[in-house]
Structure 1
Amino acid sequence: MPDRPGIDVAVILRKLPTSSRWQPWRWELEDVVPGEGIAGDAPRLLHRDAQGERWLHPGLRVELFRDEAEGYYLNVTTPAPAWFVLWRMEDTATVAQEPIPRPLIVTLSYNEAGRWLDAQETVEQVPAPPQVVEWMRLFAEEHYVPEPKKRKRPESFRRLEDRFGQPASVTTEKKRGGGEGHE
């Protein structure tokens, strides 16, 4: 299996109170941080108070794939390059007293994040730090090959068709008269 460039990261998710009586709190992505030096892969509570909770989810790896080079290029060329995190709520409470969200995948590819959104997944983004953006830029420059633009044929060369899609013809001859006796 080829060795892909990658980095270990951890995700911080935050639980915030809301003003809704139907949903008293909500979860959101707070940050993606370097995972180097963070032991284990089990989520752990960082902070809890009346304003909510912060959970650290270590043990995630971001790898760069050559076939995603266009997605990295699109991310690098935006005004705010970002991490994209796909997360889901746990079905049961395994670490906390109640279910908490679990980040499943972290990527830097716009295209991959778009596919997740198309699949109705929960995807959030946070800004990527300059050194990660530079790492991604160098990879995209090396592997991204833009598709050649196809030349569009001028409209004047298009085949003429009537409203039913049948070939139509144009003539420059003038039609004369309407029948016999007219000259």
Structure 2
Amino acid sequence: MPLGVVLRRSPGVTRWAKWSWRCVDVLPGAGDADWAELRSEAEVTDFHAATPSLELYADETEAYLHGLTAQVPCLYVVMRETEDEARPFDIVLVTASPYEAQDYADSGEEVIEKIAMPAAIASWVHAFVALHHKEEVFKKRRRDKKDITLVEDGIGDPRIAQMADVYRSPVQAKKERLQ
């Protein structure tokens, strides 16, 4: 599904940052755009920066379900900074998976913006999850049937002859013999 990404440019709050950029909305089914100005009030301007596709994958339905069950279902916009002042960000992707967004956030090279998921997209993602999600059956791990009481591998030190204290170090045994 094509989603138009709307970025808002507003004046920076510090003297070191001239502009503050935020992702404020997504436009479901939007046409192609390349930093088209949507509206401008005072010094605040909204841009339709790009129109990436929201792609869903059947093997990631657990992540989508996790995102849908959040208090506010969200989409994540992954952006990469550029040197161009007219187009300060490249829109890498839009995802409904909080796990995928976390993977991008771990690298520290991208900027991740969290946007509330519009109802139309939420119902589309929910229908996709209902169609493709398969719960994994929990399999309890079973212990080996091996009898571990026969040999005490790795307990104590073979240089200690007596079995009284198998955890005693050889240095302590030598001191005891000298006394």
Specify the alignment match of 1:179 in structure 2.
Answer: none
**2:25 is the counterpart of 1:31:** yes
**CA separation in 1, counterparts of 2:38 and 2:113?**
20
User: What letter matches 1:116 in structure 2?
Assistant: Y
Specify the alignment match of 1:118 in structure 2.
Answer: 106
SS in 2 for 1:80: coil
1:141–1:167: structure 2 CA closer, same or farther, 3 Å change rule? farther
Residue 118 (structure 2) aligned to one of 106, 122, 129: 129
Contact 1:35–1:58 (CA under 8 A) maintained in structure 2: no
Give, in angstroms, the shift of residue 64 of structure 1. Answer: 1.1
**CA separation in 2, counterparts of 1:64 and 1:127?**
17
Give, in angstroms, the shift of residue 76 of structure 1. Answer: 1.1
**2:4 is the counterpart of 1:15:** no
Instruction: Point out where structure 1 has 5 or more consecutive residues left out of the alignment.
Output: 1-6, 169-174, 176-183
**CA separation in 2, counterparts of 1:119 and 1:68?**
20
Specify the alignment match of 1:100 in structure 2.
Answer: 88
Contact 2:76–2:113 (CA under 8 A) maintained in structure 1: yes
**CA separation in 1, counterparts of 2:133 and 2:155?**
43
Q: TM-score, normalised by structure 1?
A: 0.70
Structure 1 residues 124-166: Cα deviation after superposition (integer angstroms, max 9, x where no partner): 1111122211211121122222333343679xxxx79xxxx94
Specify the alignment match of 1:81 in structure 2.
Answer: 73
**CA separation in 1, counterparts of 2:129 and 2:41?**
42
Paired residues in the alignment total 152
Instruction: Point out where structure 2 has 5 or more consecutive residues left out of the alignment.
Output: 157-163, 165-179
Give, in angstroms, the shift of residue 106 of structure 1. Answer: 0.6
Deviating above 4 A after TM superposition, structure 1's stretches of 4 or more consecutive aligned residues are none
SS in 2 for 1:116: helix
| 1:101-180 mapped onto 2 (5 Å cutoff) | 101-120=89-108, 121-151=110-140, 166-167=154-155
Choose 25-34 or 47-56, whichever is displaced more.
47-56
